[in-house]
């Protein structure tokens, strides 16, 4: 996917967002356009460092465990009032700068009619793995009406968040396809990696299907009120840069293309798009070039180094530097406060190299995390002064 840089003639496609969308509304109490999160994701300096946590909606919160009691994970993701409540819980408790829509990356599979459950202690498990051309040909398409429950949940949540943005998300095609081929979580994702080389036609058909449902899932959330969106490629780090570029990138680009009229690096006033993968430090530029306006970084390299690598590898559209997200090591949430504080300050300082920086973890909140530590981390991040924008040219060096 090719995109214009902000310096070029901007797309007017942001007008495709509904007039009452939080990024377009003129009601100050509901507008997210000037929020710290959106400001940073658009490459500007907000008044305070924005922060949210992946997997912040639950896991470590006692109030989450209480409302989820006796309800299966995927069932809870399809109950709009419960989704709203769980999404809001960490916002109320921690004062994070955005809500992350409570869902799961395999929810689109369930909505399409594929048999899948999240087994406690295991993860997503499919009734029937998808491993042959016939298996792929038999996959059902995701009907638009099946997404009504997602639209309702987003609308309810946005109504309570007010001027605080909601982040929508979807699983990237490779990660969805990896689960579908293996039938369950895998350590090495040998099955999808073998398929892309041994049977590339079947692989491309499966990844194309996954891209369609991911794009539909993203679009339903954005049109219903999400002010930013993230594509999670949890397992892309199992790939080489060459394999990602040859067999995966175009499918992630197709997912982003589904919302290109609402978002993207060339859409002024549109919804910022984040792209995050674990272990993808060697090909962050490929994640950017799939159509993202910002890139998430895990704990394996500093944000300053991620910025340097992106600048050194500009894309076909000329973009090098983009806003970054990350990258507090989740393992340090259990460290003594003086160790954690020093690490958080280092992350914030390193992120200053990028055009914009959203503070986050390098992945998700561990379930054993003390919620009071997360609140303390947020307070620390908000207390750190936001530096002035570097002089022209410095942040792209």
Could you tell me the residue ranges of all domains in the chain? 14-385
Query: 265 pLDDT exceeds 80?
Result: no
pTM: 0.93
Query: Given this model, what pLDDT does residue 15 score?
Result: 65
Q: Which two tokens stand for residue 368?
A: 């054993």
Q: What is the pLDDT of residue 397?
A: 39
* Per-residue pLDDT at 394 exceeds 50: no
How many of the other CB atoms lie within 10 Å of CB of 143? 12
For 361, the 3-state DSSP assignment is: strand
| Amino acid 390: pLDDT | 57
Q: What is the pLDDT of residues 45-100, one digit of tens each?
A: 999 999 999 987 777 899 999 999 999 999 999 999 999 999 999 999 999 999 99
Work out the average pLDDT over 144-151.
98
What pLDDT is stored for residue 56 in this prediction? 75
Torsion of CA 255, 260, 261, 267, to 10 degrees: 150
**How much is the average pLDDT of 302-322?**
97
Pairing of strands 228-233, 324-325: unpaired
376 Cβ contact list (under 8 Å, min separation 6): 337
Q: Is 59 annotated as a binding residue?
A: yes
Q: Tens digits of per-residue pLDDT, 89-103?
A: 999 999 999 999 999
Q: 51-65, 170-184, 227-241: lowest mean pLDDT where? A: 51-65
Is 234 among the annotated ligand-binding positions? yes
Give the DSSP letter string of 252-284. Answer: HHHHHHTTTTTBSTTBTTSB-EEEEETT-GGGH
Q: What is the residue-averaged pLDDT of the chain? A: 92
Whether 145 has a binding-site annotation, put simply, is no
Residue 68 annotated as lining a ligand binding site: no
pLDDT at residue 291 tops 60: yes
- In this structure, what are the phi and psi dihedrals at residue 60, rounded to the nearest 5 degrees? -95, -5
pLDDT reported for residue 186: 84
Residue pair 237/279 in contact by the 8 Å Cβ criterion: yes
Top pLDDT among 314 and 397 is at: 314
Residue 266: the pLDDT is 67
Task: Flag the least confident range among 117-121, 137-141, 148-152.
Answer: 117-121
Predicted local confidence at residue 121, as pLDDT: 85
Which of these ranges, 53-67, 78-92, 126-140, 145-159, has the smallest mean pLDDT?
53-67
**Distance from C-alpha of 6 to C-alpha of 388, rounded to nearest angstrom:** 21
- Judge whether 8 is annotated as a binding position: no
Q: Which pLDDT band holds residue 7 (cuts at 50, 70, 90)? A: very low
Q: Is 55 annotated as a binding residue?
A: yes
Task: Give the CA angle between residues 285, 289, 292 to the nearest 5°.
Answer: 100
Residue 230 has pLDDT above 80, yes or no: yes
Residues 6+ apart with CB under 8 A from 9: none
**How far apart (Å, rounded) are the C-alpha atoms in residues 168 and 21?**
14
Which pLDDT band holds residue 14 (cuts at 50, 70, 90)? low
Which pLDDT belongs to residue 313? 97
Question: Does 57 show up as a binding residue in the annotation?
Answer: yes
Distance CA 294, CA 43 (A): 9
pLDDT higher at 123 or 78: 78
Architecture of domain 14-385: Alpha-Beta Barrel (3.20)
């Amino acid at each position: 996917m090719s995109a214009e840089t902000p310096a070029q003639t901007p797309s007017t496609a942001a007008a495709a967002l509904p007039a009452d969308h939080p990024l377009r509304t003129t009601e100050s109490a509901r507008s997210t356009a000037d929020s710290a999160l959106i400001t940073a994701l658009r490459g500007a300096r907000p008044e305070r460092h924005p922060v949210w946590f992946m997997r912040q909606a639950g896991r470590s919160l006692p109030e989450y465990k209480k409302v989820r009691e006796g309800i299966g994970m995927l069932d809870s993701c399809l109950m709009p009032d419960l989704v709203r409540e769980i999404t809001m819980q960490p916002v109320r408790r921690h004062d994070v700068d955005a809500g992350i829509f409570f869902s799961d990356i395999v929810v689109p599979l369930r909505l399409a009619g594929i048999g899948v459950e999240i087994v406690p202690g295991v993860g997503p498990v499919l009734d029937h793995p998808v491993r042959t051309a016939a298996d792929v040909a038999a996959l059902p398409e995701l009907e638009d009406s099946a997404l009504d429950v997602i639209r309702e949940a987003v609308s309810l949540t946005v109504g309570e968040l007010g001027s605080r943005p909601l982040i929508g998300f979807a699983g990237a095609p490779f990660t969805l396809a990896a689960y579908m081929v293996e039938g369950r979580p895998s350590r090495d994702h040998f099955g999808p990696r073998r398929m892309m080389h041994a049977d590339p036609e079947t692989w491309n058909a499966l990844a194309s299907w996954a891209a369609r449902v991911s794009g539909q899932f993203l679009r339903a959330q954005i049109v219903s009120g999400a002010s930013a969106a993230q594509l999670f490629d949890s397992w892309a780090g199992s790939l080489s840069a060459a394999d990602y570029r040859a067999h995966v990138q175009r499918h992630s680009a197709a997912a982003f293309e589904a919302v290109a009229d609402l978002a993207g690096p060339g859409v002024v006033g549109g919804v910022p798009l984040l792209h995050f993968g674990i272990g993808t430090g060697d090909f962050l530029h490929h994640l950017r070039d799939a159509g993202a306006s910002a890139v998430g970084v895990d704990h394996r390299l500093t944000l300053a180094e991620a910025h340097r690598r992106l600048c050194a590898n500009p894309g076909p559209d000329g973009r090098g530097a983009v806003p970054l997200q990350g990258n507090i090591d989740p393992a340090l949430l259990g460290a003594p406060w003086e160790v954690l504080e020093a690490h958080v300050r280092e992350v914030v300082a390193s992120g200053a190299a990028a055009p914009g920086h959203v503070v986050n973890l390098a992945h998700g909140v561990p379930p054993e995390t003390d919620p009071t530590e997360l609140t303390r981390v947020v307070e620390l991040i908000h207390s750190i002064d936001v530096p002035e924008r570097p002089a022209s040219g410095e942040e792209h060096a």
